[in-house]
Chain A
């Protein structure tokens, strides 16, 4: 207990003093996971909308694949992205391995199925007749999609939260494709692992606290947006 207490006290001191190393790691984490989440929205919302609203052969299999993708362990993603980006791999010429871009790519692969799957669910939970009603009021195909997404905005925000939560907290993929390089690819989760292995519990606890505060802050904001104006 003493270890935790001392560690926590020193962590607070580190945070209050604004330790530059801690700040750098936090900003890189936010940047990498933020970009990965944003890209996953750009891919996942249209893909989820198409899967939810259209009928085509293989649609069921596609939805199953997306749902499976929601549960793929980050280390598996890390492994495949590493192979892809390896110097002799298919995308080796891009020289992205052990860069923040590689972490963004890996996190995108983790978050995109989450956002896609939850978008499918968000649209499918709407009254199926709403689409017909919008068409019956003269909506074009694009207008129908716009209004359906607008009506599903609350569960879509949940998709955003889940996507961000999945990538900000993952470690396997970031470690494998980023390499946890000091001042380059070290993010909150990989840094926490490193500091723990070194026995620097104050630093490790400070990083963990930051990670939790960050996740909490983002989710509180999104929940506030989601719930405002709603009465129980």
Chain B
């Protein structure tokens, strides 16, 4: 991470008086891959268009390479230092190589150089053998590779991707995602990658920005965003399903006793008695035991008794919901699920360590 290559200052975007983007400040560091995640309608794509100089904000300033961009001036030269890829490949009617060459031709680069860069780009994306194919005969994955090659041959200073894999089937998406990661790791292009898929953000992002309701809720390393969300909305979006409201009863030797409906939990962290908090538990932090088992007190200070009310198979795991007076969601392997007999109605102990929860202070 060096210096900000792109900076947004006091940006708002409104459509017919309705505020859809409100970003007081936003920094993109040179060479980083910034994943922008959030649910549909969060303003991610609008943010990307503003960053890519493709949409004029209602208010505010875009600073690119240390220089404020005049929104009513000629943006073409600045826009040509960037390249965008969208969810749909949006190829023009013609051959693959003509499409990969499109941006270079728009810049009136000489033919020999175009040819060299197109060959290189197609090889990098593994589409050299498709060079003469017409774009309307391509599969979705092939078309998106062409779209990526078309943008990458431009050697952009800023590479903007708006959910480029959202319309692809899972195996195609995974293959393309890994190839893109290899390219980005190697070339260190400043990349802004919009997605609603948490796993894509985790895989590609050096940093993650979480957007909701047109605002950036949190911007940090993927590890921190996923482990320490700043509020309930972000927590739910990053996959935390058990969020318990409570208040701190007492604090002793770094351990806080938090009262949640029906239970007293022991939670590690610098908390103050009387504080109102949200206790967030990731499903994978919770261990399930048969009801008669004694769980070692040192390893799992919190043990909640309840019964299974729902189980959903998700790939090779089961997502089990336990009613402990409060709903607790845990993930177990298919093997554990069978061994523990976690059918609906089964009585279990849901255990977790004092260090497992992430605690959010309520303001």
Contact = CB atoms under 8 A, between A and B. Distances in A.
B100 to A, nearest CB: 11
Given A130-B90, A150-B92, A151-B92, A136 B52 contact: yes
Contact of B88 (A127, A135, A143, A151): A127
Nearest to B151: A137
Interface string B170-204: 00000000000000000000000000000000000
Interface stretch (B16-24, B26-34, B79-87, B292-300): B79-87
A155 to B, nearest CB: 12
B154 A138 contact: yes
Nearest to A143: B106
A133 B79 contact: no
Tell me what chain A mostly uses at the interface: helix, strand, loop, or mixed: helix
B363 interface: no
Contact of A137 (B49, B88, B102): B102
A147 interface: yes
Query: Interface residues of B toward A: which range?
Result: 20 to 34
Contact of B82 (A136, A143, A151): A136
A76 to B, nearest CB: 39
Interface residues on A, range: 10 to 19
A132 interface: yes
B354 interface: no
Interface string A121-163: 0000001011011111111100100010011000000000000
B49 A132 contact: yes
B76 A136 contact: no
B338 interface: no
B14 to A, nearest CB: 16
Contacts of A136: 52, 54, 79, 82-86, 151, 160
A147 to B, nearest CB: 6
A49 B160 CA distance: 28
Interface in A84-137: 127, 129-130, 132-137
Contacts of B92: 130, 147, 150-151
Contacts of A134: 106
Contacts of A140: 76, 106
Contacts of A137: 83-84, 102-103, 106, 150-151, 154
B93 interface: yes
B89 to A, nearest CB: 9
A138 B79 contact: yes
Contacts of A135: 54, 79
Given A137-B151, A138-B83, A132 B54 contact: yes
B86 A132 contact: yes
A133 B107 contact: no
A151 B93 contact: yes
B90 A138 contact: no
B86 A138 contact: no
Contacts of B106: 134, 137-140, 143
Nearest to A138: B80
Contacts of B90: 127, 129-130, 133
A138 B88 contact: no
A133 B84 contact: yes
A34 to B, nearest CB: 28
Contacts of B103: 137-138
A135 B86 CA distance: 12
Contacts of A151: 92-93
Interface string B54-85: 10000000000000000000001001101111
13 contacts: A129-B88, A130-B90, A132-B54, A133-B84, A134-B106, A136-B54, A136-B151, A137-B102, A137-B106, A138-B79, A140-B76, A147-B92, A151-B92
Interface of A: 127, 129-130, 132-140, 143, 147, 150-151
Given A136-B84, A151-B93, 9 more contacts: A127-B90, A129-B90, A132-B84, A132-B86, A134-B106, A136-B160, A138-B76, A150-B92, A151-B92
The list of the 3 closest CB pairs from A to B, nearest first, reads A136-B84, A138-B80, A137-B103
